[in-house]
Structure 1
Amino acid sequence: MDGRGGAVDEGESVEAEVRVGRAGRRWRRVGVLLGVLVVLCLPPWWTLFGAGADWPLPVFLTGTGVFVAWLVSFPFLMVAGHGSRRNDRAARVADTSLGVVWVLWTWSVLGGLVDLVLGGFDVGGAGRARIVALTVAAVSAGLLGWGHYEAMRVPRVKRLDVRVPRLGAGLDGTRVVVLADTHYGPIDRAGWSARVADAVNALDADVVVHAGDIADGTPAQRREQSAPLGTIRSKLARVYVTGNHEYGGEAQGWLDRMADLGWEALHNRHVVVKRGGDALVLAGVDDVTAGSSGLAGHSADLTGALEGADPALPVLLVAHQPKYVPQAAAAGIDLQISGHTHGGQIWPFNFLVRIDQPVVHGLSRHGERTQLYTSRGTGFWGPPFRVFAPSEITVLTLRSGAA
């Protein structure tokens, strides 16, 4: 009996340690989040209200109250909007306010640097801080208005010729239209989605590619927004791969949804398209995060994707993230198409993206054979703003033979 009691006590002790460990990790995450939010709030608050602008007391208190209210409410809005409840209204408020604060932070830091330089040259006098504050507010407001328009409009068409030396002459001039990162989400963009489909259909595509991140949410939640994808036409193929966001919203469900809409889901597999007696392999892999998703059969498996493909044929690989390109280059892929980066979406976030990805946007070469095209994306994620990172629908015209 004493032995059993000792075993029970030991088990309870282990369980208590686990609970304490989990609580400690939870509070550390809370602490990190609060630290980040304070860092985001302090520069704009200081530049706009606390750096000697000498506003009347009601203005100072109102401005300070707004920042404190955001600091306190933002975590709850994020949990309500992007947690298990998926409250779209809360998500819209959280995402939009985060974009506003990010833009204010960026231009407040720049404004603070300008203020220091002007102070060093004794320019501006006592009113300099207020002039800087008003300038930062005006520039931020202008960029947010323009950035919202850029995010919500139908993307402009970007055209580019890509030389693929192994491509047969019969496929010369093949038009590959690229969509990526549509991110159907808390803002209902069903009308926008329909206009994007119309724009794609006007391009007379041979192949249409969706490079992942269709939506934030489940197929049932975003059914109306994704429905226009079923109206997109192509002569040879419509192909799709999962992005990282699919693994937060029923990845297998999105594969099934795209199949229902008439798209070929390149779930670590390939199809072959032919024209004029020549052939092209269209291969696709799951997102690089798929392996840690816990979903059986989901991982980025290039070997599986190319299984049975004729090695003499050129290969166009669709992989959501550009950082998959080392594997593509090692396998001798001719052209990889990716998205994920959004081109940074809101400047200067592109510099942070570059830390994680080899390319932020555009065409690049990796090794002797492999080229990578990285799309800035068709939609937007989270904050409904695009600042110095325009969205795009891309037409890649494939050209055969050496340059």
Structure 2
Amino acid sequence: MKFKSTIDALSELLNYVAPIVPQKSTVLVLQYLNFNLSGNTLSVIATNEEISILKKIEVEGLEDGSVLVPSKKFNDIIKSIGKGGEVTFTCDTNSFEIEFKYGKGKFKLKGIDSQEYISLEGLFENELTNISNILEKVAEGELFAKFEEKLFAKLTDRTLFAVSTEDYKPAMTGVFFQFRENQLTVAATDGYRLNRYIHSTEENAYPKVFDVVIPSSSLELLRKIDAEMIMSVLEEDDSPKYLRFDFENTILTTRIINEKFPPYETIIPNDYTFTALVPLNELISATKRVSLTANTVSKLMILNFANNQLTLNTQDDETGEFAEESLPCEIQFEKFEIGVKYDYFLQSLQHLYYDGTSEDVLELRFNDPAKAFIICPKNEYETFIMLNMPVRYK
């Protein structure tokens, strides 16, 4: 096996595949990249058994072959060489010794026979899906979906931070995707907060009815992709098992979380007693300052609304430290007070506007100091809401 390539091309390749490789594994081959050269096309596969990726790049192929390459070592070598220049990759298909030449230097690594790699049957067999006919497949009832450029970044920015880290609640460790023809609803919750965002398209780019929970680890990878993507469903025993995403000579597959997502719609109030409009950036800055004296365990911050003014205050009874700050707001009620966890509250504020182009105003909706409240962009309640649980302090 032998090919020539640029350092930049290999570096870009590793940006896609290396993050999939587990740092530690009882299965040795999972810490290797599966290289396969056919003509001038180098295909590289990485997997951690939950997420798998196949990336193809064009190289100057000199001799076809395949080998498993130690991922971390190879990645470290590419980074150490820096940008620019050409390299020659050679592998003895009998001993699987790898020689990697660049400029005036070279490395020798020990590879493994690619036949020892784990089976990924059914994940990558088909050619990359043709984007031009995807809407026809959707119209025919097939489980396909088309995502425009950078959509995953927007969806995940508004949901991922609310995902649970508790493994005993598998469905809550991912983001719920609810497909309905021309509408996609995504939701995430950790039991203390709930984020829901609705994205609509002019074309029917989604299945008529399809619900799925996608692991947060997969979404962390997909959010970095700027290209248009096609999603398809891979079944096992007539039941959805994997999702497959095709983009830019790349296929990424992820296991589906086969657990029922909580009925989140039931906890979203239908109406509200109190509504306040607050300048977003002022509130973020004030929260950062006032939270400096909050109790490190309860993280309690009190919001007090009165006379078109919002007053924030925190106090640590153990140290006697206290902070208070006021800012203007618009309210249609006499007064209202509620306790919040300042870290969750601040995190919600910082993810309120994805593109940074919307107006600097947020909307807060309340019913009772003991009940969940809503944070949302002004006039966007029907599209994007973040529901937070209050903190009882009296």
TM-score (norm 1): 0.23
The structure with the greater share of residues assigned to strand is 2
User: Whose helix proportion is higher, 1 or 2?
Assistant: 1
Work out which structure has the larger RCO, using CA pairs closer than 8 Å and 6 or more positions apart in sequence.
1
TM value normalised by structure 2? 0.23
